Structure 1
């Protein structure tokens, strides 16, 4: 177990060491290289779901410079949505710069194209011969009338004009290298988001001599209510409501805990710990989202705390359900030798969940690609399956033991818990099927506005199951009735139950504990059946405590 924990911790440290800046609305570039296409060199500078500006008719120009659109003092939730260039710098090699010559004016061009996914077809043209898309205008295209004479050497962008006279479709900005300068810097300007959609920013070079240019700087993406990406905007109010819900549940639990502190069991303390952790996690997530909605940045420490709290909460919640299913505090006083197995499974799940959450939330601006997401989700799915099988097998054993001992109050409690857990499992299966359908039919992020629900559902389900456990195991004056107690001869009242099991087929009755026919043989059959049943009841726990319990149970049966 120690080796596994060390390996997981090392893997997490190595992963964090290679994570870039923890930003959601700021897309940063550090000497990013262009990649070659058919006739152009392109950098895919970012993509995000954006909501349309609420002030689309305020008279501000589409490309505003140092005005109200990009004023750092403006309110964050001012209804304006835009993509802003914050001094993006392009750098070319000394050889290419010298070839341009000093004092020769503009000697190299980089174009910045901002477009909504639905307008992607307005960039470039499809070559009729090769069937491949070409992005740059050349002399032949000019002669064919595909582009104008002023467009030669530039990206082909077809801009439409709306009914109000404003241009729609992709927006283009130009950055020129001057003379023999090695670097060229864009002005600080913003492009208004006029319609809701998935937006992309490309840096494009049509001159093959400048294909080796690198880019540094950043772009800022702002939605009407702040810097939260469109796919995460709904998570801010969601975590606000979740925090309030956990506070309400925690307040009710605290009242019951304080009012019946004399009857508090060890299981109650475990539920309290999970509830407190869940409440803290929701609050930290809320403040994390609120912070970078206002600033556009996510501090490493704050985000890491939220991520690791979420992973720890998920792990402890599953461990709590497992220990309750095993009858901790009700059927058995301790987990005995099973504690090490539960802890090992919990550590493996914690490491897998932490790595996945860190990659998704820290240093990742764009959504993960399907292949990377599958690689991260696969280990968690395996451990989830182990938890699920172990939980239901333990529940089956616990229900059997309670039925055998005729502990009706505890049996009713666990039956209610089993029903809640079965409903939770059924909802999980249905939602997993929905997630698979959602992701398989949304390979290009057309449903980005609904992505937040995929993760929110699991938080709602976790809260619901925790609320059920708080209700079923709430501290009260009757809590001692559900606590574990040593078996006494008076507790074992299953003789009549077993008598029915081995009763003669003709309905003959036992008298004084003996059968009318061959009573000694029937008694041996009954005892053998009891021992076999006891063996089955305890066979799932391969530890010393279970062996002692088995011997005690068989001794009392005899």
Structure 2
């Protein structure tokens, strides 16, 4: 208990300190990055972030200004072309709503970004310049400036500059040049992106407060569960130990995610170590939670003492899901700085989705078989618990499917991340749904004086007799002869049913 209280105090302290000492901006570092050919231009993407204007009603002006600052941005060309004159290299910053203002007339079947010789002859632009048009919102945007190589120099450095952000939006930075002789050009240095609230990009900022809230929610759930566990530890059975593990993993996961975002907000650099730990704890929690739901659906610890031959199959499915999910989450989160969503490749997303679907099918198929056994053995208390569990699980699956369709709709309508201020809701929803289902399971199987009523009993009819023990207190009266014959007949049928059930139990063990 003292460990969990200490964790709560640390979270509260970190929360208060993050509000007091909010620092500068998000740091995008470039280490010998190469340009890529796009149409008639060579392009390197320098970053994308949602930035709140310091003039917004949500923030105060003054020292909390928003900007994008260039620090030691150096372009290096190969030595073999150092004796050739070159066209300038440009930095282009624009808000996503102004994306159509970059580029001009069609050229070679594509929109031309660079001013070509043909366009220069028409007097539209100067050769080697970037074609762009002023924004309808602000005539000073997009911001375009550049630098050229001097004589035989191998490097050219952009002058230190800071671009003030006066309009809330999703901003994009691209370095662009139009010289084929510089196709092997590399860029080094860094840019600093400042939000009024600190280093965190705009889309990620709400998640820090969300994970702080979820950390406290898991602490509350943990206090409830561990207090019940301590009071009735003699009545605890294996399934409840598994639930304890999931709650503990959830507490660590939420705390690590909070510290990941808090550290990012403090330094401007994504902490790789904390991110990996947060991803790993989260993946383990999701894997263990799915396995627990599956074995509960199979009736483990309730109508069967072991999984028998199914144990290896369950472990194999869990390990495969963990591997696929861990790979996906690491690629999605580790080192991610820009406000770009949906970067994971399709071949990493599909295995996780397929394994999730397999879990769901197996769970509901197992629940159906367990229901039949509980009904046949007339285990009323366990049957009621499983009915509530099935209802909660069905609601969670239906809500999940509905949210998946909404997520697909949201992403299809937000190709350019224009709705970045709402994007944090998507990952937050899955955490809330997982926590809600865990809370329901914790309430249904919480340790209590009657915990053993939910556990496996070797006597198939034992619980039925326990539930109806009050009937034995009624003094029996004389029984008519025709009812005696009827009772004898029913007894034979019950014995036959019991023999069949015992056979099913033995078959379960062999499985």
Give the Cα separation in 2 of the matches to 1:488 and 1:205: 78
| Residue in 1 that maps onto 2:64 | 79
Q: Which residue of 2 aligns with 1:133?
A: 111
Most deviating of 352-361 and 114-123: 114-123
Deviations 1:108-159 (A, max 9, x none): 52111111122122223113x7553223345664564534xxx553223333
2:3 maps to none
1:296: which partner in 2?
A: 268
Cα distance in 2 for partners of 1:231, 1:110 equals 30
1:203 aligns with 2:169: no
2:74 paired with 1:89: yes
Secondary structure at the residue paired with 2:308? coil
Alignment correspondent of 1:146: 124
Aligned counterparts of 1:29 and 1:217: Cα–Cα separation in 2: 5
2:377–2:460 CA contact under 8 A, matched in 1: no
Whole-angstrom distance in 2 between the partners of 1:196 and 1:126: 29
Q: 2:355 aligns with which of 383, 393, 405?
A: 383
Post-superposition offset of 1:217: 2.2
The 3-state SS of whatever aligns with 1:446 is: coil
Distance 2:91 2:482 in 1: 94
Equivalent residue, structure 1, for 2:395: 423
Corresponding position of 2:14: none
| Superposed displacement of residue 358, structure 1 | 0.3
- Give the Cα–Cα distance (whole angstroms) in 2 for the partners of residues 390 and 48 of structure 1: 42
Pairwise CA distance, 1:384: 0.7
Residues 138, 424 of structure 1: CA spacing in aligned structure 2 closer, same or farther, 3 A cutoff?
A: closer
Q: CA deviation at 1:443?
A: 2.6
Instruction: Name the stretch that deviates more: 473-482 or 421-430.
Output: 473-482
Distance 1:323 1:42 in 2: 52
Q: Which one of the candidate residues 101, 113, 131 is aligned to 1:156?
A: 131
In the alignment, what sits opposite 2:99? 120
SS at match of 2:270: coil
Q: TM-score, normalised on structure 2?
A: 0.82
* Paired residues for 1:116-265 under 5 Å: 116-127=95-106, 132-137=110-115, 141=119, 144-147=122-125, 151-159=126-134, 167-265=139-237
Aligned-residue offset at 1:169? 1.7
Contact persistence 2:87–2:178 (CA under 8 A)? no
Q: Counterparts of 2:340 and 2:507 in 1: how far apart (Å)? A: 42
Kept after mapping to 2: 8 A contact 1:256/1:474: yes
Structure 2 unaligned spans of 5+: 1-24, 466-480
**CA offset at residue 489 of structure 1?**
6.2
The residue number in structure 2 matching 1:10 is none
- Counterpart of 2:259 (choices 279, 287, 290) is 287
Tell me the equivalent position of 1:404.
376
Bigger Cα displacement from structure 2, 240-249 vs 46-55 = 46-55
- CA distance in structure 2 between the aligned counterparts of 1:443 and 1:112, rounded to whole angstroms: 23
Contact 2:208–2:261 (CA<8 Å) still a contact in 1?
yes
8 Å Cα contact 2:87/2:179 also seen in 1: yes
1:456-495, aligned counterparts within 5 Å?
A: 456-487=428-459
Q: Is the 8 A contact 2:328 2:344 kept in 1?
A: no
* SS of match in other structure, 1:284: helix
Q: Report the CA distance between 1:368 and its aligned residue.
A: 7.0
Residues in 2 aligned to 1:489 and 1:113: alpha-carbon distance in whole angstroms: 77
Gaps of 5+ in 1: 1-23, 61-67, 69-77, 101-106, 494-508, 548-558
SS in structure 2 of the partner of residue 443 of structure 1: coil
2:302 matched residue in structure 1:
330
- CA 1:248/1:197 → structure 2, altered by over 3 Å: closer, same or farther? same
CA distance in 2, matches of 1:409, 1:490: 12
C-alpha RMSD of the superposition: 3.3
- TM-score for the superposition, normalised by structure 1: 0.76
Which whole-Å CA distance do the structure 2 matches of 1:55 and 1:512 have between them? 87
Matched, 1:110 2:89: yes
Q: Secondary structure at the match of 1:177?
A: coil
1:239-287 superposed Cα distances (whole Å, 9 cap, x missing partner): 0110010011111112212222222222222111110110110000000
